[in-house]
Amino acid sequence: MSEKVLSAMAQMCPSWGHGSCHDLHHGARHLLVGFRDVDEHQVEASAKIGAEMIELHTGCFANSFNGDRVSETARLCEAAVMGHSLGLQVNAGHGINMQNLPELLTVPHLAELNIGHTLIARSVRVGLEVAVSEMRQAMSEYNG
């Protein structure tokens, strides 16, 4: 990670280094910024430093119920809309499972869901082929 990118992130994301910005991965072709706590400043900062995609952390969503789930879903929707409007690919992950997936799929503009953990956990009982098939079926009507 270049000093320039780290410096820019620190300036644009005041909570950088204080637990809110989760990961900054720079591969050969892609810059991805993932968050533990998503807010508009972090999404804007990601676009300003040239990130191509963001990953919305869905852990709070996954661990919430009833009214809390509604507010977490709304927060994810706002971040996804903002990220998309800034030209970022929007991904999501953490704690996604078959029970909370229908609600998560109300969030617009999701390009990828990181669901490996739930697939492997489910495959212990039903096998990987069935687990993948079930997830694909559950995701099949998502319009993004």
Length of the chain equals: 144
Query: Taking Cα atoms as reference points, which of 22, 67, 24 lies closest to residue 75?
Result: 67
Read off the amino acid at residue 90: V
* Domain range annotation of the chain: 3-114
Q: How would you write the pLDDT of the chain (144 residues) with one tens digit per residue? A: 445 444 554 454 444 443 344 444 444 445 667 766 778 888 998 898 888 999 999 999 999 988 899 999 999 999 999 999 999 999 999 999 999 999 999 999 999 999 999 999 999 999 999 999 999 999 998 988
In one-letter notation, the amino acid at residue 63 is N
* Domain 3-114: CATH class, spelled out: alpha beta
CB 75 within 8 A of CB 38: yes
- d(Cα 65, Cα 59) in Å, to the nearest integer? 12
Q: Are 90 and 52 in contact (CB under 8 A)?
A: no
- By three-state DSSP, how is residue 74 classified? helix
